[in-house]
A and B are shown apart, each in its own frame.
Chain A
Amino acid sequence: MIINIEKKEFSEAVSRVSRFAERKSATLPVLAGIAIVAGDDGIKLRATNLETGIDFKMGGTIEQPGVVALPAITLREITSSFSGTGTIKLEHTGDTVLISSSAGRSTLKTLAYEDFPTLPFPEAPTAKFTLPGVSIRTLVLTVAGCASPSTVRPELASVLLSAEGGIVKAVATDSFRLAEKKISVTGSVAPFSILIPAKNAIDIVQTLPDTDVDVLIDEHQCAFSWPGGIVTTRLVTVPYPDYTQIIPKQFVSEATLLRKDFEAVLRRTAIFSDSFQKIRVGFSTTEKKIAFSARNSDVGESSENVPASISGEAIELSFNHRYLAAPLSLISSENLSLSAAGIGRPLIIKGIGDNTFLYLVMPMNQ
């Protein structure tokens, strides 16, 4: 295989693709590699960790077609150090690849390509739709942080993507809190519902272009394809819990406060939170304020009031302060609404005027 590639393009492609290579060393060595395929379809970079996979097209000229697998980390280190413009030449001979540019040359050991798996794509897609890549990215990145890091329950370690009636939504929950993001799309999207492992989803959306992406789904596999490439991931096939049930319909108390107030008071009060990271939040209707307090026997205690407009009854709940702070970076509105549904029932956080995002957090036992 002999190919000529633009430095900058190669470097970008490698940094995108290397994300999909296996990072653990305990498996097949070739999974930690990027396969470069030069054939009739042009030059393609491939990588997979058997959960997700990518097939990425790039420009360049092929002098001699062929395939080769190179270690992803080494290749990324090499390409990220490229400076300036110009083309480089990759030449495969024996079990090494010679990378030469106008300035210098280096040889890199190859990996055994024969073991490189094929990338599975949905054979008989049961659903197919087109969405702008940027929308998918927004949806996934907004909620993915709330997915459970543990894989004991695969459905909670996943992001739910579903569409109904022109609205596409993404949901993730780890059973302590839940995030839901909706985006309305132009044109019609057939209803669908898939569960993508959150880790895979994050990797994938960061690779997607902003332009339209075709999404193909079958029972076990999902592929995102655009003219420049295709990524694929396995899907989780466990039924997702019916989360709409736990979103309260009626609230006993609703408060509106400034986002920057909330952010600041959380940061200060959190210092005094105990080992359970607990802080208490009290809605006081008469004084029009929310009281935040925390007590740690080692550090001390703190209580602080934040002005807010409150309707409903007075109520006091305890929360993990991390869970309260998590949605702030995801909400762009200046004002927040906190809606409490009662003792032992969840609290809803939303941005005022932003109906696309909903964050639900369960209180801690009193």
Chain B
Amino acid sequence: MNRSDPHELWEYMLTQVELSISSANFNTWFKESTIVKIEDGIVYIGVPSQFFRDWYQKKFHTLLLKIVRDVSYEFRNIEYMIVKDIARKPKEQRTRREPTPELPLNEFYINKSDNLNPRYTFDTFVVGSFNELAHTAAMAAIARPGITYNPLFIYGDTGRGKTHLIQSIGNQYKKQYPNRKVFYLTSEKFGTDYTDSLQQGTANRFKEKYRQYDLLIMDDVQFLSRKEKMQEELFHLFNTLYDNNKQIVFSSDRAPIAIPDIADRLRGRFVSGMTVDIGEPDSESRIAIVRKKAAMSGITLSDEVAEYIATSVTGSIRELEGVLNSVVCHTQVKGTPPDIAEVRQSLRSFSRPSKTVSVKHVVSKIAEFYGIEEESIYEKTRRREVVRPRQVIMYILREDFSVSYPTIGSKLGGRDHTTVIHSCEKVKREVAEDTELAKEIQDIRTLLV
């Protein structure tokens, strides 16, 4: 902050004053005031009328003086002056623009001729034990296209990086063989193209169009199930390309065997080359993914934060990216990467939007889970079968809902907050060691969603 700039000093003072007085008071008394000048260590605050001057002197003088003294001892005193109506007119809003790392436009750019999104490359692809095989197969397919693994069939659950991998193949291929033609499409697009061509009577042109490519990448082929005409069309297309040693890459969310209602001759062709699956990413890979994606957005996360995000977001990589985006956004707004507490806070809102906690609800669910009477939780009994659920309740209220220790204590039959702290610590310790308990708590959490 520039101390000698009245505007900046006043902004700072306002933020401090706002914390110390009620918002009604703040809005009434501070909206229209401003620092007029700073001279010889005296800060002159311009106020709209004598009402304000009297009240400032009576009520806010000590507070304001303390604030400016905290800024610098150069400021000896504050004086209030009633400024003329002209000077009080609202100044034009000064908006300071911070350079924010904006998303480059080409993220959204998709090449029309080959349909590939340049964002997906091998450089940004994180290889871990879960996708190592798929990655190697893809590399081999690029090295000797149409010969080594043809077709290459990649499958795995949603959000595991299939699309990323096959698009990377396309982009890499394009780079290595600039003169050859690549085309990426989803099976759904293939279907609409086909029906359109039938409608317009240009089926021949449709066939020609797809047969010219040296590398054809088709995403989500499982959607072809039950579409016999399209399957047939794909079958013929496949044969043509295959016979001409053109590389074909398929992706699907399940193995070819598991795709229902698909013609056997097509199924056979799918598995004729290399079939490889992408499994669930292990935690190390998740951390690596978090790191890499964060680095791509230009921010560095502490180990703690990266680990926390990777382990607490249990869903697919896509969900992981979603959380990471909110972290990136947070960083852009605040200027610093969030710390673990902030991430925990934002993750909570991310995973369970607008969830309000009712202690009674939690108690009844957990009591039900353990098959004990709900009342016994509130009682002063120390029976073993009650003590454990009670501790779990405290732990969950604390960890998942951030209820304060004293509140938990009073809600659960007037217990001391130290008891609650002890219980939470105990469960937390045990969860780390006891996988049975961890499993239980996981199950309970699903009940509470």
Given A234-B49, A238-B84, answer yes or no on A117-B55 (Cβ-Cβ < 8 Å).
yes
Report the minimal beta-carbon distance from A343 to chain B, rounded to whole angstroms: 34
Contact flags (1/0) for B22-50 with A, using CB distance below 8 Å? 00110111000000000000000000111
Seen from chain A, the residues whose Cβ lies within 8 Å of a Cβ on chain B are 26-29, 31, 48, 50-51, 53, 115, 117-120, 154-155, 219-221, 234, 236-238
A265 to B167, CA, bound (A): 83
Q: Which chain B residues border A219 with CB–CB below 8 Å?
A: 82
Report the minimal beta-carbon distance from B22 to chain A, rounded to whole angstroms: 8
Given A220-B82, A237-B85, answer yes or no on A115-B52 (Cβ-Cβ < 8 Å).
no
Q: Are B27 and A234 in contact (CB under 8 A)?
A: no
Report the minimal beta-carbon distance from B61 to chain A, rounded to whole angstroms: 13
For residue B51, CB closer than 8 A to chain A, the reply is yes
Q: Which chain A residues border B85 with CB–CB below 8 Å?
A: 154-155, 236-238
Q: Are B82 and A118 in contact (CB under 8 A)?
A: no
Within 61-115 of B, Cβ neighbours of A (below 8 Å) are at: 82, 84-86
Q: Which chain A residues border B55 with CB–CB below 8 Å?
A: 117-118
Q: Are A120 and B51 in contact (CB under 8 A)?
A: yes
Q: Are A234 and B86 in contact (CB under 8 A)?
A: no
A118 to B58, CA, bound (A): 9
Q: Are A120 and B28 in contact (CB under 8 A)?
A: no
Report the minimal beta-carbon distance from B57 to chain A, rounded to whole angstroms: 10
Q: Which of B24, B49, B50 contacts A28 (CB 8 A)?
A: B24
Q: Are B24 and A221 in contact (CB under 8 A)?
A: no
A119 to B55, CA, bound (A): 9
Report the minimal beta-carbon distance from B129 to chain A, rounded to whole angstroms: 61
Q: Which chain A residues border B284 with CB–CB below 8 Å?
A: none
For residue B196, CB closer than 8 A to chain A, the reply is no
Report the minimal beta-carbon distance from A20 to chain B, rounded to whole angstroms: 12
Q: Are A234 and B51 in contact (CB under 8 A)?
A: yes
Report the minimal beta-carbon distance from A86 to chain B, rounded to whole angstroms: 37
Q: Are A50 and B51 in contact (CB under 8 A)?
A: yes
Residue of B nearest to A27 (CB): B28
Q: Which chain B residues border A53 with CB–CB below 8 Å?
A: 51
Q: Are B49 and A51 in contact (CB under 8 A)?
A: yes
Report the minimal beta-carbon distance from B192 to chain A, rounded to whole angstroms: 55
Q: Which chain B residues border A154 with CB–CB below 8 Å?
A: 85-86
Q: Which chain B residues border A221 with CB–CB below 8 Å?
A: 49-50
Q: Which chain B residues border A236 with CB–CB below 8 Å?
A: 85
Q: Which chain B residues border A31 with CB–CB below 8 Å?
A: 28
Residue of A nearest to B32 (CB): A50
Q: Are B50 and A27 in contact (CB under 8 A)?
A: no
Q: Which chain A residues border B27 with CB–CB below 8 Å?
A: 26-28
Q: Are A50 and B54 in contact (CB under 8 A)?
A: no
Report the minimal beta-carbon distance from A3 to chain B, rounded to whole angstroms: 26
Q: Are B48 and A234 in contact (CB under 8 A)?
A: yes
A237 to B25, CA, bound (A): 26
Given A237-B85, A238-B85, answer yes or no on A120-B50 (Cβ-Cβ < 8 Å).
yes
Q: Are B54 and A220 in contact (CB under 8 A)?
A: no
Q: Which chain A residues border B58 with CB–CB below 8 Å?
A: 118
Report the minimal beta-carbon distance from B74 to chain A, rounded to whole angstroms: 29
Report the minimal beta-carbon distance from B21 to chain A, rounded to whole angstroms: 10
Q: Which chain B residues border A238 with CB–CB below 8 Å?
A: 84-86
A237 to B81, CA, bound (A): 13
For residue B53, CB closer than 8 A to chain A, the reply is yes
Q: Are B49 and A220 in contact (CB under 8 A)?
A: yes
Q: Are A120 and B53 in contact (CB under 8 A)?
A: yes
Q: Which chain B residues border A50 with CB–CB below 8 Å?
A: 28, 49, 51-52
Report the minimal beta-carbon distance from B56 to chain A, rounded to whole angstroms: 10
A-B contact list, 5 entries, CB within 8 Å: A27-B28, A28-B27, A154-B85, A234-B48, A238-B86
A27 to B28, CA, bound (A): 5
